[in-house]
Chain A
Amino acid sequence: MSIINLSRREWLKSSAVAGAGLTLGVYFNQALAEGAAATPAAAPADAAPAAAAAFEPNAFVRIAPDNTVTIISKHLEMGQGVHTGLATLIADELDADWAQVKVEDAPADSRYNNLFMPMQLTGGSTSIANSFMQMREAGAAAKAMLVGAAAVLWSVPVGEIKVEKGVVSHADHQATFGELANLAAQQPAPKDIKLKTPDQFIYIGKNNLRRVDALAKTNGTAQYTQDLHLPNMLVAVVAHAPTFGAVVKNVDVSAATAIKGVVEVINIVNAVAVLANDFWSAKQGRDALKIEWDESKSFKLSSADQLKLYQELASKKGAVAKQTGNAEQALSQAAQVLTAAYEFPYLAHAAMEPMNSVVQLKNGTCEIWNGDQAQTIDQIMVGKLLGIDPKNIKINTLLAGGSFGRRGNTNSDYILEAVRIAQISKREVPIKLVWTREDDMRAGYYRPYFYHVLKAGLDKDGQLIAWQQRVIGQSIVANTMLAGMAQNGIDPTSVEGSGGGYAIPNIDIELHTTELGVPVQWWRSVGHTHTGYATEVFIDELAVAAKQDPYQFRANLLANQPRLLGVLKLAAEKAGWGTPLEGKRGRGIAVVESFNSYVAEVAEVTVRDDGTYTVDRVVVAVDCGWAINPDVVYAQMSGGVGFGLSAALSGKITLKEGKVEQSNFHDYTILRINQMPKVEVHIVQSAEKPTGVGEPGVPPIAPAVANALSAVTGKRYYTLPLPNQV
């Protein structure tokens, strides 16, 4: 299929069908209807501001007389490279010079919706996928109008005009975009937009671009929410409840208010906020609060009890998520039956920038500054709290110092906290809520704790004939405005990826959805973080039981999955699969499809005599369709490996009588430079439409490492994080 021959409508249809985006969209519509709130904002009357007569051909490009091309990004830049990606698409079709391109964040407005969902949201690794045609068209339309302007100015035919690197020319005429901006603004918008053919691309698919944010992120000028200083702004630091669900019974503020710089203490029921002129005073005030909590309704379980609870559920039949053939019967006829149970802890996102947001309520209006992943949801949630029409909630999106899903909270948790503080204080000044690392680590909204029980059967020839997988865990969408995504008791994000893409004639996937007081949320690659591990480690164990090579065993079962098979083969080949390794070294492989991208990883480990080990090398093969920015694809794969490895080696949030036991980076350790393996990334050359890369690098790494360790030790690893010594 040639990606460039699709019309936008065909494109969207073909892109969304397989994606989670569509599901999300359908059910979100219901939520919108119920809330009757999110009427899409009309294009603001000042859409084409008179400001210095910039040329604004559409919502995504602005060309100023000073020759700057500003790309308006509808997606949050949180490290994944989307500012660069969207700019690449527009700049290529526009034939802009990369040096003249700047990116600014879009306001919250329905014109900036994710085309896969009826809302403005960055997530599900959909940014490039949904924008691919839209941004190219935006760039091409702008170029057509610049050319049209030049044709008028020079009285020459449009067809004879050339555009190259930001310069429009014809024989002896030449003009920059900036010089033509005024005139271009008077040109009619083109009806037929002609896009480039791939051979004409100058930036797309090339490795010749510096990230648009590279400079600001190396000289200290990049602006994150944390960095905002507005006139009269106050800083809020909060004392959160010690357990989930506790509320304030009593608070003694005397010591806090005595601290220099403290302005006010505000009780918001489930937390107490101290407002001060700067962070340090607010934090000292917070630490001086004496709060008595009512914990009668709070969540009080310990992690060990939770495991027991889940194990009990695992012995009972759950809701059916997927059923093919008759697994029960096939198992009874199998020559070999294997069972295994896997345990996955809660995980914190632990973005480097702890959660924060700035809110100003003034004269009945609300303005928010935030590294915002889900503007529409936040508008609805805040609108509901304040009784303001959501479209009048103004959101200024800033760079996010990481997110990994955390800033796309379906309950808008930390934003609502800031809004409530502002609401009660009635001060009408900007209030910056700043969480400490400890606040961030203990606030919940974790990757849910999961427990899986698997059972599979091999026939006498070692053929995999049956697969049962019972998944137990909390639903991410339950009790949120996306609750409709769960149908017949199945939250798709709990089970997605179970069983992988393997050709197994009899499959049963079941789910027990638990309801616990610990808030949960998507965490980079969502359900695949655990289903990928259970599936890929179990497949490995089955391969060994079938006396087959783990790579070959997978390849046989993926014969009808060309893209999974393609990355599997590529990773194996590049890693030298099958070649001997000396000493106590081993290789492990895993392959996972997530968010319509296909990733295989081969990990190489060395086990020392004392059982400690290092992950030395990881070979990644990725098929993400057309790779818009190969350099960003590399970065996301490598970063995904590091992020996933961090969780595999030590990521774990545990509870003791409801209290989160971890608090900062000393007890929730993050992968450091000396632990980072060498990573090689191989991108499958593809003419398929582009899919996402922000998340799909994560799922295969933990199982690849576990399988590599097993190759050395002969033992299997059923619990994450992996043991320190094997």
Chain B
Amino acid sequence: MLTLNINGASKELDVTPDMPLLWALRDHALLTGTKYGCGMAQCGACTVHVDGQPIRSCITPVGSVAGKAITTIEGVQSTAAKAVQDAWQTLNVPQCGYCQSGQIMSAVALLEKNPKPTDVDIDQAMGGNICRCATYPRIRAAIHQAAKTLG
């Protein structure tokens, strides 16, 4: 049994500490918005925030984040998150949508650190998130739009 702080609530999960956070979230906390894409930190589909930092949950042992604040797509609520999700919806960013939880979590983390990212900043912050549907132009546009909303 491990106690985790997920989306502001404390949760007891019957998992071993070496299980990747991704699978603890998906199969035990039943928070399936965080996706599996590669399992080796190559695609970013599994991105969540731990103490506000974007991390790849597929290679993060769940034991290493006990006691830390874990935020998933289901619980992300900051002003930046709201602006990002709004921009994503208005610009119809998602196609298959499978990568988008990870994209959004990366984008929110970017904007929380850097409210006015340049294209190069976006390339750097989002370079670890693959979108097989290649929605990249709209991801970029949505980040700029969210930055504008945030003023």
Contact = CB atoms under 8 A, between A and B. Distances in A.
Interface stretch (A18-26, A186-194, A671-679): A671-679
Contacts of B131: 352, 642, 673
B75 to A, nearest CB: 9
Nearest to B129: A673
Interface in B8-36: 15-16, 19-20, 23, 26-28, 30-36
A666 B42 contact: yes
A676 B132 CA distance: 12
Contact of A278 (B28, B93, B104): B28
Given A218-B85, A352-B130, A670-B132, A437 B37 contact: yes
B133 interface: yes
A403 B95 CA distance: 11
A643 B136 CA distance: 11
Nearest to A642: B134
Which of A80, A278, A643 has the most chain B CB atoms closer than 10 A to its own CB?
A278
A399 B97 contact: yes
> Chain A: interface secondary structure?
loop
A673 B122 contact: yes
Contacts of B26: 227, 279
B94 A211 contact: yes
Contacts, number: 172
Contact of A674 (B34, B72, B98, B127): B127
B130 A670 contact: yes
Contacts of B34: 220
Contact of A401 (B20, B23, B98, B136): B98
B1 interface: no
A280 B23 contact: yes
Contacts of B104: 218
B139 interface: yes
Given A214-B89, A278-B28, A673-B139, A639 B35 contact: no
Q: Is the interface on chain A under 10, 10 to 19, 20 to 34, or 35 or more residues?
A: 35 or more
A381 B135 CA distance: 34
A223 B97 CA distance: 10
A278 B89 contact: no
A224 B40 CA distance: 21
Interface string A213-236: 111111111111011010000010
Given A260-B16, A642-B136, A676-B137, A352 B37 contact: yes
A402 interface: yes
Given A211-B92, A664-B40, A673-B127, A279 B23 contact: yes
B92 A210 contact: yes
B85 A665 contact: no
Contacts of A674: 123, 127
A676 B89 contact: no
Contacts of B27: 229, 235, 278-280
Nearest to B36: A226
B38 A665 contact: yes
B98 A353 contact: yes
Contacts of A646: 134
Contacts of B15: 280
B99 interface: yes
26 contacts: A79-B94, A80-B95, A214-B92, A215-B89, A217-B100, A218-B94, A218-B100, A218-B104, A219-B85, A229-B27, A235-B27, A278-B23, A279-B36, A351-B132, A352-B98, A353-B35, A353-B96, A353-B98, A399-B97, A401-B35, A437-B39, A638-B137, A639-B134, A646-B134, A671-B136, A672-B136
Interface of A: 78-81, 210-211, 213-224, 226-227, 229, 235, 260, 278-280, 350-354, 399-404, 436-437, 631-632, 635, 638-639, 641-643, 645-646, 664-666, 670-674, 676, 678-679
Given A217-B100, A404-B132, 16 more contacts: A79-B96, A79-B133, A217-B97, A218-B97, A220-B72, A222-B97, A226-B32, A279-B36, A352-B98, A352-B132, A353-B98, A402-B133, A665-B43, A673-B123, A673-B140, A678-B137
Interface of B: 15-16, 19-20, 23, 26-28, 30-40, 42-43, 45, 72-74, 85, 88-90, 92-101, 104, 122-123, 126-127, 129-140
